């Protein structure tokens, strides 16, 4: 058991980690996300069937001991496709979120630090951009640039960047009035040095919280675009794409062709949101 002195000596980041490890919310969410990450990385090595192999003779077979989640309309094993289908969404959504975080953080530092006319102009542009639904922006961009994973990553990333920029701006406005920023100016430090070396480390907590929240939205955005045919393309077993291909089967009673993919998306988003809640709570303890 750590001594009181050890508790006192724990660094701020150590306190955050300690709080996360005691948080049931965070650990539950982390466990869910970790499960899907393992499926994305190693799933194809332990699924019972090839996720892309069809078997027309066994098409639309209900869940059974042979096919745990049943088969789809061309006989592909739904369980295998659900496990392997996590790969694309767990590649595209995190990369889009990272892009949004980097771009949004840079913008937020810029407008929060300089304020004045820079803040007025850029903030109005960002507000106008945020007024347009992400899906509409994505559809316009994808129609213009073509469908590919790179396009989806860039479009979703840049769509979420203004939201993160607004969060970072608010944090920077509070930090720029503190003594350490004034001291940096007295040392004639450049604006970039002050923003990225002095201020940025002190606004990391809200950035991390916003990033985890945006990841949940990015997962939904990727799934929605794939469902609409503008995201990840066949023959990928991507969840949104699989729902799009099979949702017409529900009317015939073949519910298993859609249900398990939908539950997978829901569970991953819930896991990410639990992680976000845990991170937010750790930084506010």
The residues that bridge with 77 in the sheet, in sequence order, are 71
Instruction: Flag whether 277 is in a domain.
Output: yes
Instruction: Flag whether 20 is in a domain.
Output: no
Instruction: Flag whether 215 is in a domain.
Output: yes
The pTM (predicted TM-score) of the whole model is 0.89
The residues that bridge with 71 in the sheet, in sequence order, are 77
Instruction: Flag whether 140 is in a domain.
Output: yes
CA 159 to CA 135: how far, in whole Å? 9
CATH code: domain of residue 79: 1.10.3720.10
Instruction: Flag whether 30 is in a domain.
Output: no
- Please, are residues 137 and 155 in contact by the beta-carbon 8 Å criterion? yes
Instruction: Flag whether 8 is in a domain.
Output: no
Instruction: Flag whether 14 is in a domain.
Output: no
Instruction: Flag whether 132 is in a domain.
Output: yes
Phi and psi dihedrals of 274, rounded to 5?
-65, -40
- Give the SS3 label for residue 55: coil
Q: How many residues does the chain have?
A: 285
Number of separate domains in the chain: 1
Question: Could you tell me the residue range of the domain that residue 182 belongs to?
Answer: 36-284
pLDDT in tens, the chain (285 residues): 444 444 445 677 888 888 888 889 999 999 999 999 999 999 988 999 999 888 889 889 999 999 999 999 999 999 999 999 999 999 999 999 999 999 999 999 999 998 888 888 888 888 888 888 877 887 788 778 777 888 889 989 999 999 999 999 999 998 888 888 888 888 888 888 889 989 999 999 999 999 999 999 999 999 998 888 887 888 889 999 999 988 888 888 899 999 999 999 999 999 999 999 999 988 886
173: tokens are 């406005």
CA 239 to CA 245: how far, in whole Å? 10
CA 110 to CA 101: how far, in whole Å? 14
């Amino acid at each position: 058991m750590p001594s009181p002195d050890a508790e006192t000596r724990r660094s701020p980041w150590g306190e955050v980690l300690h709080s996360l490890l005691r948080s049931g919310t965070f650990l539950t969410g982390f466990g869910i996300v970790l499960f899907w990450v393992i499926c994305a990385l190693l799933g194809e090595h332990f699924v019972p069937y090839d996720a892309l192999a069809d078997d027309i003779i066994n098409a639309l077979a209900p869940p059974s001991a042979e096919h745990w989640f049943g088969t789809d309309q061309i006989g592909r094993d739904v369980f295998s496709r659900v496990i392997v289908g996590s790969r694309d969404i767990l590649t595209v959504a995190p990369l889009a979120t990272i892009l949004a975080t980097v771009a949004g953080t840079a913008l937020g530092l810029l407008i929060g630090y300089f304020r004045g006319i820079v803040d007025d102009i850029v903030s109005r542009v960002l507000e106008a951009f945020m007024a347009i639904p992400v899906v509409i922006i994505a559809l316009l961009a994808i129609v213009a640039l073509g469908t590919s994973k790179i396009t989806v990553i860039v479009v979703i990333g840049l769509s979420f960047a203004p939201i993160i920029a607004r969060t970072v701006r608010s944090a920077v406005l509070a930090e720029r009035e503190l003594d350490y920023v004034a001291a940096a100016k007295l040392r004639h430090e450049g604006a970039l040095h002050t923003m990225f070396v002095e201020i940025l480390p002190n606004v990391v907590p809200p950035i991390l919280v916003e990033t985890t929240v945006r990841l949940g939205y990015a997962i939904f955005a990727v799934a929605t675009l794939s469902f609409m045919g503008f995201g990840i393309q066949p023959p990928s077993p991507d969840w949104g794409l699989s729902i799009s291909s099979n949702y017409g089967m529900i009317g015939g009673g073949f519910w298993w062709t859609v249900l398990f993919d939908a539950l997978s998306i829901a569970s991953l988003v819930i896991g990410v949101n639990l992680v976000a809640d845990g991170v937010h709570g750790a930084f506010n303890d």
